[in-house]
Amino acid sequence: MVLVENNVRVAVYDLNPNGKKAVVMIHGWPLAGEIFEYQQEMLVNNGYRVVTIDLRGFGNSDVTADGYTYDQFAIDLFHIVRNLNLNNFILAGFSMGGGIALRYMNLCNGYGVNKLCLLGAAAPSFTRRPGFPYGVTPESVNQLIMQAAADRADLCANFSRRLLNTQHSDAIKDWFGKIALQASGIGTILAAYSLRDEDCRPDMSSVHVPTGIFHGQKDVIVPFELGVLQHETIPHSDFYPFENSGHAIFYDELPLFNQLFLEFLEK
């Protein structure tokens, strides 16, 4: 556990702390750092230090009554980075975690980051808004919020089955659903408000490090067009489209993802 502001305890998992370089991985809504299990071994075997985090209100971290904004998540990350004395590290954010990574690059001046990975990132904006006709409708997120408030177990079960496009066992789908259900109810709901309302367009211009954009072409949660926009907006970024992947870009085509992810890290 790492203490952040107001003595909130955030669960941090630090594998191979003497590795050649750190990769810090931020999960998406409504999941936890456990989702990166199938990257951890690969990265450690290639000499990397791997730091995964359960955002406040998710996984094993403390549940708070508020603080589920991208600003607060980014500040929590800054405290973790300072606590672990991380520098020249690679920051990877999945889905909502991609938006948080972009906010960290802006709000915290990308402190310590020398390479950025956006994995199915919910950015520049997850929802459509004036001047931005991309992403999903705010109403669709409102439906998720209402479902989380009425039957979160069903939300988690359904969400886990929408993560993947290719054929996988029911057991792995249930695993994702179990991870989602471990989140707090209040964290699930309030972070969904952030997903709906946060606008990362001003954060995009703060990215001045090599960036890899990984996005599934069959993503039914964060539309593929958002990955295209990220690539068009972030100068000199590398784009890795996955023809057969849904939202869980890190698992749907697992061997291919791990291969290309590692290739980008070692460029």
Whole-number CA gyration radius for the chain: 17
Strands 49-54 and 9-15: antiparallel
Buried b (16+ CB within 10 A) or exposed e, 227-253: bebbbeebeebbbbebeebbbbbbbbb
Cβ-contact 148, 188 below 8 angstroms: yes
Bridge partners (DSSP) listed for residue 115: 90
CA distance 242 to 239: 10
Which among 95, 125, 194, 245 is annotated as catalytic?
Answer: 95
- Give the model confidence (pLDDT) of 139-153 as tens digits: 999 999 999 999 999
Domains, the chain: 2-265 (3.40.50.1820)
* In the predicted structure, residue 2 carries a pLDDT above the cut 90: no
Place of tokens 């989602």: 180
Catalytic residue from among 27, 245, 247, 252: 247
The rounded percent of the chain whose pLDDT value lies above 70 is 100
Q: Clarify whether 247 is annotated catalytic.
A: yes
Examine the residue annotation and report whether 95 is marked as an active-site residue of this protein: yes
- Determine whether 199 is an active site residue: no
- What number is the average pLDDT over the span 32-52? 97
- Tell me which of 54, 76, 203, 219 is the catalytic residue: 219
Q: What is the pLDDT of residues 180-204, one digit of tens each?
A: 999 999 999 999 999 999 999 999 9
Q: What is the structure's pLDDT at 226?
A: 98
Tens of pLDDT along 94-133? 999 999 999 999 999 999 999 999 999 999 999 999 999 9
pTM of the shown model: 0.97
